[in-house]
Amino acid sequence: AQSVTQLGSHVSVSEGALVLLRCNYSSSVPPYLFWYVQYPNQGLQLLLKYTSAATLVKGINGFEAEFKKSETSFHLTKPSAHMRDAAEYFCAVRDGSSNTGKLIFGQGTTLQVKP
Amino acid sequence: DAGITQSPRYKITETGRQVTLMCHQTWSHSYMFWYRQDLGHGLRLIYYSAAADITDKGEVPDGYVVSRSKTENFPLTLESATRSQTSVYFCASSRGQGTHNEQFFGPGTRLTVL
């Protein structure tokens, strides 16, 4: 069965600093992985997705993630944080046990950006 | 370009009452999903639907009922609301069952059961 673990429920960085949000997955099949962002009082928005085409995936708003099979990780990074990046971030893996497109989400990481 | 909408955005109800949360998408996506979001649990799947008249249970279906008579609508009903169903509910849709197909989320409904 697939699962996702996000390490750290809260991450705080200073504006301009590197952002690193950690995600580890467990999957018995080749995984399809996603990062979503949720701004306050809004729904989730796709940041990027890994679909086996390339291990380094670039997304919107300057974010990127690297798929590392040996580490079963898909960490999200951004070189320089902006105040507008403050939000909750969710890592998700597609449920490979069915063809329904169901996603299994991690518990989320709240990113705080300090001025 | 309405996308996916949910109504109401906020709802307060009492224990034992029936509540229906609406979800409407304009993309003619085949798949639709209902999640609840609770602190410490992330998003948990309640029900999903592969097409009109085809629905199936997710991770936490107890106490909920869904229907899908039309492709664009996927209402979620709490037949007899309980305090444990206080949560933020998100509807999502997806074009198909392909592995690359992402889910698009509505803005959410914040439900409080007193």
Read off the pLDDT of each residue in A33-45 and give the average, rounded to a whole number.
Answer: 92
Closest-CA residue of A relative to B40 is A107
| Structure token pair of residue B58 | 């997710």
> DSSP strand E in A3-83: where?
3-7, 10-14, 19-26, 33-38, 44-50, 56-58, 64-68, 73-78
For A5-32, how does the pLDDT look when each residue is reduced to its tens digit (9 = 90+)?
999 999 999 999 999 999 999 887 778 8
CB of B102 within 8 Å of any CB in chain A? yes
Nearest to A100 among B31, B44, B90 (CB): B31
A102, pLDDT greater than 90? no
Q: Which residues of B touch A100 (CB under 8 A)?
A: 31, 48, 50, 56, 97
Q: What are the beta bridge partners of residue A11? A: A111
Q: What is the mean pLDDT of chain B?
A: 92
The burial of B5, by beta-carbon neighbours within 10 Å (0-12 exposed, 13-18 middle, 19 or more buried), is given as middle
Dihedral pair phi/psi, residue A61, rounded to 5°: 60, 25
Measure CB to CB from residue B107 to each of A36, A43, A103 and give the nearest one: A43
Residue A101 Ramachandran class (φ > 0 left, ψ -120 to 50 alpha, else beta):
left
Contact A44 B90 (CB under 8 A): yes
Average pLDDT over residues A69-77: 95
Residue with tokens 């109504």: B7
- Percentage, residues of chain A above pLDDT 70: 97
**Cα nearest neighbour of B38 on chain A:** A107
Q: B92 to chain A, minimum CA–CA distance in Å?
A: 9
> Rounded distance, CA A69 to CA A61, Å?
25
Band of the pLDDT at A4, cuts 50, 70, 90? very high
The residue assigned the tokens 């079963």 is: A72
Residue in A with minimal Cα distance to B42: A107
